[in-house]
Amino acid sequence: MRKLLHLLVLIIGLPLLLSAAVAVVAIDTPMDPPYWALLERQLLDANADAVTEWADKYLDDRGYLQITPRWGGLDGPDDATENFYNWPLLHALGASGRVLEIYKKAWEGHLLQFTEAKTEVIALAKQGMYHKEFITTFDWEHTGEGLQPFFYQALSDHYDPRFQARMRRFAGFYMDEDPGAKNYDPKHKIIRSFFNGSTGPLLRPATPAEWAGDPMTKFGDQHNASTYPEMLAHFAEYANIVGDSPQNLCATSMAMNAYMIDHEAKYKDWLLEYVDAWLERTRANGNNIPSVIGLDGTIGGGWDGKWYGGIYGWGFSPIEPTTGRPANRNTVYRGLRVGFLNALLLTGDHKYVDVIRKQMDNIFAAKKVVNGVTMYPSMYGDEGWYGYRKDPPSHVLLDVYLATLAPADRGRLPTDDWLRFLDGADPTFPEKMLRSDLSNIRRRLEQMRQDPTTPDTRYTDDIQRYNPASTDNLVKLMLGGNPAGQTSNMLHSQVRYFDPVKRRAGLPADVAALVEKITPRGVEVTLVNVNPVSARRLVVQTGAYAEHRCVKVLAGGIETAVNDSSFEVRLAPGAGSRLVIAMERYANQPALAHPY
């Protein structure tokens, strides 16, 4: 009965949705199709064709990857979905609907494949690598990579009941809603272990075998080892996993997406409670985010009080057995940018950006000049800062700048060709990047066609190099966003597009978009209909999740008041124009609902 009532509401409400008052910008000025526009449309189509060919080779009828499934940090379930991590993003940009269909086939197939896949030796996965469609217990360095396509699915397909049920269930593993997954300690506001998941935290030292997986005899060239003992040696210093880590901030993306489905307050409340706890710890630690928190909530707990301890922490430089030298493996920036930018999306409060900025203050304060070159630390140990490199963490600095658009934050960024284009310095940048991506598709497909491996000799990460989908430049050029990558990050962008006719995410057929300027007051976007015969309609949304409010739009000398998170554009055949979009940033609660 409830489903029937819900259906009636949808049916009765549909005309209201279609006729709801919305600002309309009409563009009928002819525009010869710019070369970048033709390349952009070609790239979207080529991406879809290439994904189809990849799937024909490496997916069976069930959606299972034609590989030998394994557990572990060098090759495991996360590597399976990394093969198609950006396919749903590609669809959300405007690629063919078959891209989403193929992704869902692969996603559903991999859930079954890795639930059925069991280890012979490793107890963590003897009953299946997935439990309740989620990793049993592992680290967010890898879990986050494995979930990235699922988070991108939210952009196009959050109405799917399976998606909603899973996102809520997954978030519940970290909100004390599942008695079999006691990952979170609400008293100390910590996730209790570096290893966590659907069967709860691992509250003892991890063994090298639990990191490496079952013994194996066949090795691909991406395993950083040629023998199983070498694999075990790789993880010899990875034992002390008890306690919280900044990596676990990546888990906030599940609560973030669950909240954006229908704004159920508990998800927002938990996310902010957990992120705020990290904010206070960071402030108390001289604005350096600690890389380990003990079970008692103390900074450096379990690591002799060293705030820089922990697996993948500031001081984590284990010996690499193949070289005999320390390898610097600090990945705290992953959770730092994911967790605090999620909190910014929810609140619009720049105190969360300030946490990242002040961490960068400490990095810049520790810089030094070596042979005339300024170097920046990437690590911190008993002797202080070390692991000096030529460049600071530009991906983090770009996140900060795009969140604040403050000149001081821009001044810290190394030379960036995309930002130079936005400054008007290199008008050929879009064409160069789009042509490069088309060449990348050709190269990867050529390599894939020559792949001599068979399912019994092929591991999941062996075929990642052949994923042809190229999305990073499209995110920059079309959306004005810093590519989210594949670490459980959310999409942060100036705009997104929707097709109100087909009622789906992404640009409609024949329409191309280019963000040409970003300022604190808004953005300038050129839209063009490359079809000289048929008109096109699209909806422009301010913010990836409607978090910004569009105040007004200036196009062709005509100003249109909007005062909403979206507006419609009607493009005559062969028409185009630059739109100056004035916006208030972080003025709305983020949502997954599509604007039509």
Beta bridge partners of 135: 130
- What tokens does 471 get? 């999305």
Nearest to 72 by CA among 124, 127, 144: 124
Contact 167, 257 (CB under 8 A): yes
Task: From residue 81, give the alpha-carbon distance in Å to each of 44, 64, 168, 299.
Answer: 21, 11, 20, 34
**Unique residue bearing structure tokens 């080779």:** 57
Cα(67)–Cα(463) distance, integer angstroms? 9
How far is the CA of 280 from the CAs of 52, 99, 271, 275, 462, in angstroms?
47, 43, 14, 9, 42
Structure tokens at 310: 């922990």
Q: Are 459 and 75 in contact (CB under 8 A)?
A: yes
Q: How many CB atoms lie within 10 A of CB 246?
A: 29
pLDDT, residue 217, reads 81
| Token representation of residue 237 | 């210093």
> Hey, what amino acid is at 275?
V
DSSP letters spanning 134-167: EESSB-HHHHHHHHHHHHHHHHHHTT-HHHHHHH
Distances (CA, A) of 36 to 32, 425, 433, 530: 11, 16, 9, 11
Q: Please, are residues 595 and 539 in contact by the beta-carbon 8 Å criterion? A: yes
66 by Cβ neighbours in 10 Å (0-12 / 13-18 / 19+) ranks as middle
Q: Give me 145's structure tokens.
A: 């990579």
Residue 519 CB neighbour total at 10 angstroms: 12
Question: Residue 322: its pLDDT value, please?
Answer: 85
Tens-place pLDDT, residues 429-465: 999 999 999 999 999 999 999 999 999 989 898 899 9
- Domain residue extents for the chain: 19-32+481-584
Give the 3-state secondary structure of residue 49: helix
Name the CATH topology of 19-32+481-584: Immunoglobulin-like (2.60.40)
Residue 300's region, left for phi above 0, alpha for psi from -120 to 50, else beta, is: left
The pLDDT assigned to 221 comes to 58
How many other CB atoms are found less than 10 A from the CB of residue 177? Answer: 14
* Contact partners, residue 329, CB within 8 Å, separation at least 6: 312, 316, 317, 318
Non-local CB neighbours of 388 within 8 Å, separated by 6+ positions: 368, 370, 375, 376, 377, 378
Question: Tens-digit pLDDT profile for the chain (596 aa)?
Answer: 334 434 443 444 443 343 457 999 999 999 999 999 999 999 999 999 999 999 999 999 999 999 999 999 989 999 999 999 999 999 999 999 999 999 999 999 999 999 999 999 999 999 999 999 999 999 999 999 999 999 999 999 999 999 999 999 999 999 999 999 999 999 999 999 999 999 999 999 999 999 999 998 877 655 567 889 999 999 999 999 999 999 999 999 999 999 999 999 999 999 999 999 999 999 999 999 999 999 999 999 999 999 999 999 999 999 998 889 999 999 999 999 999 999 999 999 999 999 999 999 999 999 999 999 999 999 999 999 999 999 999 999 999 999 999 999 999 999 999 999 999 999 999 999 999 999 999 999 999 999 999 999 898 988 999 999 999 999 999 999 999 999 999 999 999 999 999 999 999 999 999 999 999 999 999 999 999 999 999 999 999 999 999 999 999 999 999 999 999 999 999 999 999 999 999 999 999 999 98
547 Cβ neighbours under 8 A, 6+ residues apart: 345, 348, 565, 585, 586, 587, 588, 589, 590
Q: pLDDT digits over 475-532, tens only?
A: 999 999 999 999 999 999 999 999 999 999 999 999 999 999 999 999 999 999 999 9
The number of angstroms, rounded, from the C-alpha of 102 to the middle of its chain's C-alpha atoms is 19
What are the CA-CA distances from residue 352 to residues 240, 293, 462 (Å)? 29, 20, 38
Query: Do residues 37 and 84 lie in contact, with contact meaning Cβ atoms separated by under 8 Å?
Result: no
What pLDDT is attached to residue 177?
Answer: 97
Q: Which amino acid is at 428?
A: T
Give CA separation, 182 vs 134, 250, 325, 337, in Å.
15, 17, 38, 25
